[in-house]
């Protein structure tokens, strides 16, 4: 890949990451607004708000997956190959640690 192509792809990835950050912020706002409205209604007759929360949560998971993929690709542009590899290994180790800890959580009763 030529230098201009590399710079163009880097710029496109940075723009995509910003777009996904914005989408994530909008979805978070929707989720919290629906939760606030449900609370204001005393959690009765809040089917519409509940469906909004479910839809926003599902879309948020999709956006998170896309954002993670873009972030992973950006590592190669922001860092040397060695540093990018170390960051990926650290992220994988942290994820495995969180999963291991969450498996140990049992019911409190």
Q: Residue 52 in 3-state DSSP?
A: helix
Angle 97-102-104 from CA coordinates, rounded to 5°: 105
What are the C-alpha distances in Å from 50 to residues 19, 29, 60, 88? 26, 14, 15, 36
**pLDDT at residue 101, as a whole number:** 84
Q: How far apart are CA 84 and CA 13, in angstroms?
A: 16
pTM above 0.85, yes or no: no
The model's pLDDT over 42-83, given as tens digits with 9 standing for 90+, comes to 999 999 999 999 999 999 999 999 999 999 999 999 999 999
Paired tokens of 106: 């049992």
């Amino acid at each position: 890949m030529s230098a201009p192509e590399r710079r163009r792809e880097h710029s496109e990835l940075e723009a995509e990451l910003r777009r996904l950050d914005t989408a994530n912020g909008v979805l978070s706002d929707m989720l919290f607004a629906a939760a606030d409205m449900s609370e204001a209604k005393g959690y009765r007759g809040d089917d519409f708000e509940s469906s909004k929360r479910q839809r926003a949560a599902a879309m948020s998971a999709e956006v998170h997956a896309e954002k993670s993929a873009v972030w992973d690709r950006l590592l190669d542009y922001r860092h040397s190959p060695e540093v990018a590899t170390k960051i990926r290994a650290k992220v994988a180790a942290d994820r495995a640690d969180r999963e291991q800890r969450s498996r140990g959580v049992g019911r409190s009763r």
